[in-house]
């Protein structure tokens, strides 16, 4: 099935072009998955080593990330259609809302993987747990929230 097909029962919205904010790609994911058919549905923390290859301007932005065990990686699934409201992932007529799925088909096709940090090599971060095709554009990397304590002082709304 191609990215432009629609399955029985699926509903597309009629939308103007997306124009609310602009992304800047920060690099590319290097994975052993050459095509969409090769990609797993979900990455595994014991999966193969992959690399987050950052553009050189962002190399130092990795400083200090290795002290975390896990990171959240955001990437852009640029081959996905963006207008489906209801989807039938099993192609059996059963419908789910787009926001009840982690399908790449969504109004903003941003993939999110929680990865295990293996090591840093300059502007490259070696990780496990990615599920995307080789060459996927990267948008952001954040230390995983549960292990993260903000460096800036707490504010009133953070409570005791």
CB 37 to a second copy: min, Å: 7
CB 67 to a second copy: min, Å: 8
The DSSP call for residue 9 is T
Torsion, Cα of 122, 123, 128, 130 (10° steps): -170
> Residue 5 or residue 21: which is nearer to a second copy going by CB?
21
Q: Which residues contact 49 (CB under 8 A, 6 or more apart)?
A: 118, 126, 127, 128
Q: Site for a second copy (CB under 8 A): how many residues?
A: 76
What is the contact mask toward a second copy in residues 4 to 23, using x (rule: CB under 8 A)?
A: -------x-x-x-xxxxxxx
Contact 43, 129 (CB under 8 A): yes
User: How far apart are the C-alpha atoms of 154 and 147, rounded to whole Å?
Assistant: 16
Residue 118 near a second copy by CB under 8 A: no
The DSSP call for residue 143 is E
User: How far apart are the C-alpha atoms of 81 and 109, rounded to whole Å?
Assistant: 8
Q: Which of 4, 5, 8, 151 binds a second copy (CB under 8 A)?
A: 151
Scan residues 39-68 and list those touching a second copy (CB under 8 A).
Answer: 39-42, 44, 57-58, 60-65, 67-68
What is the contact mask toward a second copy in residues 119 to 148, using x (rule: CB under 8 A)?
A: ------------x-----x-xxxxx-x--x
């Amino acid at each position: 099935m191609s990215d432009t097909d629609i399955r029985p029962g699926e509903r597309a919205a009629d939308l103007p072009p997306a124009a609310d904010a602009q992304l800047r790609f920060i690099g590319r994911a290097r994975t052993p998955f050459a095509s969409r058919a090769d990609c797993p549905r979900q990455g595994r923390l014991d999966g193969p080593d992959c690399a987050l290859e950052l553009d050189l301007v962002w190399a130092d932005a990795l400083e200090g990330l290795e002290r975390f065990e896990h990171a959240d990686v955001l990437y852009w699934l640029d081959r996905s259609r963006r207008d489906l409201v209801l989807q039938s992932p099993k192609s059996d007529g059963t419908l789910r809302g787009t926001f009840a799925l982690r399908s790449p088909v969504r109004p903003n096709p941003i993939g999110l993987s929680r990865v295990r940090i293996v090591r840093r090599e300059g502007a490259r971060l070696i990780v496990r747990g990615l599920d995307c095709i080789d060459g996927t554009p990267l948008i952001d990397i954040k230390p995983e929230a549960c292990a993260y304590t903000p460096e800036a002082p707490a504010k009133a709304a953070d409570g005791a």
